[in-house]
Amino acid sequence: MSTPVVEVAVRGEGSVLSAVRAALSTVRPAAPAAVVVPAVPGPGPLAELGDDRLDALVGDTLDAVLADVRATLGQPLDRLVFVLPHAPLMGVADGVAASAVAHGVLSMARTLAIELARDGVTVNVVAADVDAPAPGALAAQLGALLGAGGEAITGQEIYLTAGTDLGRARP
């Protein structure tokens, strides 16, 4: 008896997209799922972040993420995972726009976890350092969230950073 193949829709254009695709090649999802990989802006000085640039880098990017979410909700869906690069969530120099996008997605995911729970959809965020020494960590985490038992995990913010998020300095 063969197990039916469950599809995972991958949306977005973020910097960790290739790592997400590679990780998903080893994952056996237990339910219809989508992984959204937002395109987080690169570094740039605060002095250059005027209104037009802010609209383009942050507003347009968050609009694209919301469009990706809407597209996934138009399909059968039980699991939704956002995968972000970890650095903008940790705070980096010249990272105001990147931080605004990453934290905007994080906040959106928390709200979606609450709103979509009534429909049985789990929503989680994975912040990954794809250059960390544990290359299998992303595949293992996506396997846990998308595989059997993942229906009990929702509203989580999970860091895969080989410990770089421990004891982070706060201003």
pLDDT tens digits for range 107-158: 999 999 999 999 999 999 999 998 876 669 999 999 999 999 999 999 999 9
pLDDT in tens, 34-75: 999 999 999 999 888 888 988 999 999 999 999 999 999 999
Higher-scoring residue by pLDDT: 142, 3: 142
Q: Which of 136, 138, 108 is nearest to 123 (CA)?
A: 108
**pLDDT value, residue 17:** 96
**Cβ burial, residue 123 (10 Å; 0-12/13-18/19+):** buried
**pLDDT value, residue 143:** 97
**pLDDT value, residue 11:** 97
Asked if 160 and 126 touch (Cβ cutoff 8 Å), the reply is yes
Domain ranges of the chain: 8-160
- 168 pLDDT above the threshold of 70: no
Alpha carbon of 154 to those of 103, 127, 148: distances in Å?
17, 15, 14
Higher-scoring residue by pLDDT: 162, 86: 86
d(CA 113, CA 171) in angstroms, rounded, equals 29
**pLDDT value, residue 3:** 59
Stretch 5-23: mean pLDDT: 92
**pLDDT value, residue 124:** 98
**pLDDT value, residue 130:** 82
Q: Which of the four pLDDT bands, split at 50, 70 and 90, describes residue 98?
A: very high
Give the pTM: 0.92
Residues 6+ apart with CB under 8 A from 90: 161, 164, 165, 168
- 33 pLDDT above the threshold of 70: yes
Pick the CATH number of 8-160 from 3.40.50.720, 3.40.50.2300, 3.90.180.10, 1.10.357.10: 3.40.50.720
- Maximum CA pair distance of the chain? 62
Asked if 30 and 148 touch (Cβ cutoff 8 Å), the reply is yes
**pLDDT value, residue 66:** 97
